[in-house]
Structure 1
Amino acid sequence: MRDPVELDDGIVVRLLADDDGPALAEAYRRNREHLAPWEPERSPGFFSDAVHVREVRALLERYASGRAIPLVLVDDDDEIVGRVNLSDIVRGVFLNANLGYWVDGRLTGRGLATTAVGVALHAAREHGLHRVQAGTLVHNAASQAVLERNGFERIGLARRYLRIAGSWQDHVLFERLLED
C-alpha cells in the first residue's frame, strides 16, 4: 500500500513510517487499559518510546522483505489512533498472512476497524496474497463482527490458542480467501 486511504472524520490508514515509534508508544500508553483484555500482558518497558522505535524498524524491515504489511490509523493531528497489520506472510504455495487490528478506545463503535480491515485486505491483494486468517477471543463479538462484515468465515475453535491477559485463551479462527 503506497498511498494513504481516508476512512472517516479525517482518519487515514497509511503504512507505518520510520519515525512513528514515539507516536506508537504514546498510542499504546493512552490505550493501555482499553487493550489489556485483548492482548498479551505487557511489561512496563513495552510502553517506552525506545521499544517502539525498535519495533517500527523491525516491522519496516519485514515489510521490505515481503513478510509483513504494517499499517496505522492516524487522525488529523497525525496521532496514531489504531493499527491494522498483516504479519507472518508466507509466500510459495500458501500466500497467507495473519491479520491483527485495534482502534483507540475513544473511537470504537464508529466502523473504523471494519473499514481499516477492508483497506488491509486490499493491500493483501496488491501484494499477491491468496488468504488472510485471523483469530478473536471467543467473547469478542465486536471483533468477530468486523471480520464477518469483511467476508471472513469462521473455520474453527483453537483451544488455549494464545496467552492473552495473563492466561491461555480459546480463539475463534477465521479466514478470508481473497479471490472470493
Structure 2
Amino acid sequence: MMPAELPAGALLRPIELTDAPSLRETSLRNLDRFRRSSPRQPDSFWTPEGQRERVEKAVARNESGEAYCCVIARDDAVLGLVTLSTIVRGPFCSTSIGYWIDHLEEGRGIVTAAVGAACATAADDLGLHRVEASTLPDNVASQRVLTKNGFEQFGRARDYLFLDGAWQESVPFQRILHDRPPSAGSA
C-alpha cells in the first residue's frame, strides 16, 4: 500500500520500527481512553521496550500477511493506528478493522479518512470482500466514523469483550467491499 494523504497534513502508512518512541508517547497520552475501550496490558507494555516489541510484532504481522497495521502520522509524530487484523482468505475473504486517534486530533476527519483508505487497501490491494468492526454502545464518535465509511450495523453482541474489568456489550458493523469472487491465490 502506498501512503494515503489524510486531512490536517496527516498520512496513513505502514508501521515502521522507528515509530515505537512516538507511538509510546501518544499511547501514554491516551491511556485513560484505552483503559475503557481496550484490553488491559501489563505495565511492561507501556515501557520503551514494550512498545518496541509491540511495533516489531506489528511489522512481522504485516510482512507475513496476517495483518496490516498502519500509523496515522504527521511528520515524525504518530497520531494513531489503523489495523486490519484477522485477515482470512478463501471463501471468507474478510478482515476486522480497529483504529484510534490521539484525543488531541479528534474532530478533524483524520480517522474517518484513514478508515476509508484502509478499506480501499482491503478491497484493492488485499482483494478482501468484507470488513468488520465493533464499538462499545456509547462510542457514538466511532460509530459515526464507520457509517461515514459505508459500514452498516448488524445487531448487538452481549458480553462480547472483557474490558475495564467487566464483560462489555458490543455493536458490530460490517462493510461489503465488492462482489468479486475470491482470487485463485486466496484459498
Q: What is the TM-score of this pair, normalised by structure 1?
A: 0.93
Provide the residue aligned with 2:48 in structure 1.
49
CA shift for structure 1 position 35 = 2.9
CA shift for structure 1 position 164 = 1.6
Which one of the candidate residues 72, 89, 93 is aligned to 2:87?
89
Q: Residues 98-151 of structure 1, C-alpha deviation per residue, up to 9 Å, x if partnerless?
A: 100001010111111111100110111111111110000011111111101100
- Whether 2:118 is the aligned partner of 1:120: answer yes
| Letter in structure 2 aligned against 1:98 | S
Provide the residue aligned with 2:182 in structure 1.
none
- Whether 2:13 is the aligned partner of 1:14: answer yes
Once residues 34 and 49 of structure 1 are traced to their aligned partners in structure 2, the CA distance between those partners, rounded to angstroms, is 20
Once residues 21 and 89 of structure 1 are traced to their aligned partners in structure 2, the CA distance between those partners, rounded to angstroms, is 24
Once residues 112 and 154 of structure 2 are traced to their aligned partners in structure 1, the CA distance between those partners, rounded to angstroms, is 19
Once residues 42 and 168 of structure 2 are traced to their aligned partners in structure 1, the CA distance between those partners, rounded to angstroms, is 19
CA shift for structure 1 position 15 = 0.6
| Letter in structure 2 aligned against 1:151 | G
Once residues 165 and 108 of structure 1 are traced to their aligned partners in structure 2, the CA distance between those partners, rounded to angstroms, is 22
2:108 counterpart SS class: coil
2:86 counterpart SS class: strand
1:134 counterpart SS class: strand
After superposition, the CA RMSD in angstroms is: 1.3
Q: What is the TM-score of this pair, normalised by structure 2?
A: 0.90
Matches within 5 A, 1:3-152: 3-76=2-75, 78-125=76-123, 126-152=125-151
Deviates more, 1:15-24 or 1:140-149: 15-24
Once residues 142 and 30 of structure 1 are traced to their aligned partners in structure 2, the CA distance between those partners, rounded to angstroms, is 19
The number of residues matched between the two structures is 178
User: Is the CA contact 2:70–2:82 (under 8 Å) kept in the aligned structure 1?
Assistant: yes
| Letter in structure 2 aligned against 1:55 | R
- Structure (1/2) with the larger helix percentage: 2
| Letter in structure 2 aligned against 1:84 | V
